[in-house]
Amino acid sequence: MPPALAPEWLRRHFATAPAPAEAIYGDHGTRPEASVLTPASVLVPIVPRAAGMAVLFTQRTAHLKAHSGQVAFPGGRAEPHDPGPEATALRETQEEIGLHPRHVELLGRLPDYHTRTGFRITPVVGLVEPPFELVPDFNEVERIFEVPLAFLMDPANHRRDSRQWQGEMRWFYTMDYGGHTIWGATAGMVVNLYRYLAAPGR
């Protein structure tokens, strides 16, 4: 990794580095066939701060039926009127946390991430330039927080964990920061971001 990640370096890397390879799945296990997956998108929001780049996450509310209380990127399933994954990511982000698309500079995509719960998630990476206002939808989002990009891009912080689920041992990545645990698909997408940023550009 470069010693000091900065917006210009990120722009140059996404403009010149080869397209990311197929996703590495941290949450190994049986997945539905690709043909039956529901398309969805998330925004991977990278925020330039005085102390260094940070990545914005949400924590889902505890009452949700699916993935309650989990840490996630803002996003959700595609709608028929969305012209593409970027539009889905921006629309869902605005609905969930009130971040207006005018604050987001899109850099590129990471490989699609197929989940066991039946989604094909396209992670869309964007720079979010302060100042900006966030207004969370408390029906979906309990809190919003940031994690230093340097912490997430350090492989020493990518821990492998496991648990028994439906009679099968499942393995997944976890990252602990500031009392929050990032795990499952979100952590897997963070690892894919690390792999892409660590790869040499052209």
pLDDT, tens digit, for every residue of 83-104? 999 999 999 999 999 999 999 9
Residue 1 has a pLDDT of: 45
All domains of the chain, ordered by start, with CATH?
A: 7-162+169-198 (3.90.79.10)
User: What mean pLDDT comes out for the span 119-125?
Assistant: 95
Residue 161 has a pLDDT of: 84
Its pTM surpasses 0.75: yes
Residue 3 has a pLDDT of: 43
Please say if the pLDDT value at position 65 is more than 60: no
Please say if the pLDDT value at position 164 is more than 90: no
What is the rounded (10 degree) CA torsion for 54, 175, 186, 69? Answer: -100
User: What mean pLDDT comes out for the span 15-38?
Assistant: 74
Residue 69 has a pLDDT of: 64
- Specify the pairing of strand 113-114 against strand 38-49: unpaired
* Average pLDDT of the chain to the nearest whole number: 88
Give the separation between CA 202 and CA 188, rounded to whole angstroms: 25
34 vs 7, residue with greater confidence: 7
Residue 190 has a pLDDT of: 96
For 132, left (φ over 0), alpha (ψ -120 to 50), or beta? beta
User: What mean pLDDT comes out for the span 44-62?
Assistant: 94
User: What mean pLDDT comes out for the span 22-50?
Assistant: 81
